[in-house]
């Protein structure tokens, strides 16, 4: 599965939201699995969108055929767009599916990992972070993806910001020490996204 993460800064909120509804046209595209997104909790004009495709080949075919027609409705409503593609490595919690209806927030962690630490970082995600997140009340599902250049995305869906906040307060610092996160990563960024139900496809 291919995960597409788009981040942009919105300059015309009403026009952007109107255009966002046009992406319902993704339904029926070969290989399309789902899309959702919303507004950054920390930066009010920033939007994050997450799209899921069966494979890179299906995604490339869509980009060559239909993308520009769907995107035209949002022209001029945003700036500073960044798009990143990640190959699914494993689920966070079992049986990931790109559904957004039961989630309130998405947490994204974007990591650039030191070349000699990739194996350790991946192992720690699988053996330590994953079980900790999966066992947290309110954590619904997630995905761990990899891009070329030692770049990784951890995307987790939560039923409330309060539950995610509890997990963060109680466990993240301890887990970071246990997994030697600082030694693994060259940089780490992220955000918490309040999902907009009307954007779900």
Report CA-CA distances (Å) from 167 to 42, 45, 151, 172, 175: 18, 26, 24, 7, 11
pLDDT digits (tens, 9 = 90+) for 6-49: 999 999 999 999 999 999 999 999 999 999 999 999 999 999 99
**Rounded CA gap, 86 and 107, in Å?**
16
Domain total for the chain? 1
pLDDT digits (tens, 9 = 90+) for 118-134: 999 999 999 999 999 99
Task: Kindly report the pTM of this predicted structure.
Answer: 0.95
For the record, the structure tokens of 121 come out as 């970082």
Domain containing 49 equals 2-199
The answer on pLDDT for 88 being more than 90 is yes
pLDDT given at position 176? 93
Alpha carbons within 13 angstroms on the beta-carbon side of residue 1 total 20
Q: Which value, to the nearest 10 degrees, does the dihedral of the CA atoms of residues 106, 103, 147, 28 take? A: -140
- Note whether 58 and 30 are within 8 A (CB): yes
pLDDT digits (tens, 9 = 90+) for 37-49: 999 999 999 999 9
Q: What share of the chain is helix, strand, coil (3-state, %, to 5)?
A: 40, 40, 25
What pLDDT band is residue 170 in, cutting at 50, 70 and 90? confident
pLDDT given at position 169? 85
CATH number at residue 102: 3.30.70.100
The answer on pLDDT for 168 being more than 90 is no
- Note whether 79 and 8 are within 8 A (CB): yes
């Amino acid at each position: 599965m291919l995960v597409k993460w788009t981040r942009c800064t919105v300059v015309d909120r009403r026009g952007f939201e109107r255009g966002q509804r046009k992406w319902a046209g993704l339904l029926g595209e070969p290989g399309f699995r789902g899309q959702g997104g919303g507004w950054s909790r920390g930066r009010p004009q920033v939007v994050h969108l997450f799209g899921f495709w069966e494979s890179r080949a299906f995604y490339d075919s869509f980009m060559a055929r239909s993308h520009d027609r769907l995107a035209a409705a949002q022209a001029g409503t945003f700036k500073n767009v960044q798009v990143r593609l990640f190959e699914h490595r494993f689920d966070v919690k079992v049986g990931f599916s790109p559904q957004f209806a039961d989630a309130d927030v998405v947490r994204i962690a974007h990591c650039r990992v030191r070349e000699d630490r990739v194996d350790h970082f991946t192992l720690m995600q699988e053996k330590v972070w994953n079980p900790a997140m999966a066992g947290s009340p309110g954590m619904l599902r997630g995905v761990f993806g990899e891009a070329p250049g030692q770049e990784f995305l951890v995307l987790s869906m939560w039923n409330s910001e309060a539950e995610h906040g509890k997990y963060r307060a109680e466990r993240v610092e301890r887990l970071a020490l246990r997994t030697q996160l600082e030694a693994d990563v060259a940089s780490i960024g992220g955000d918490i996204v309040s999902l907009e139900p009307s954007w779900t496809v």
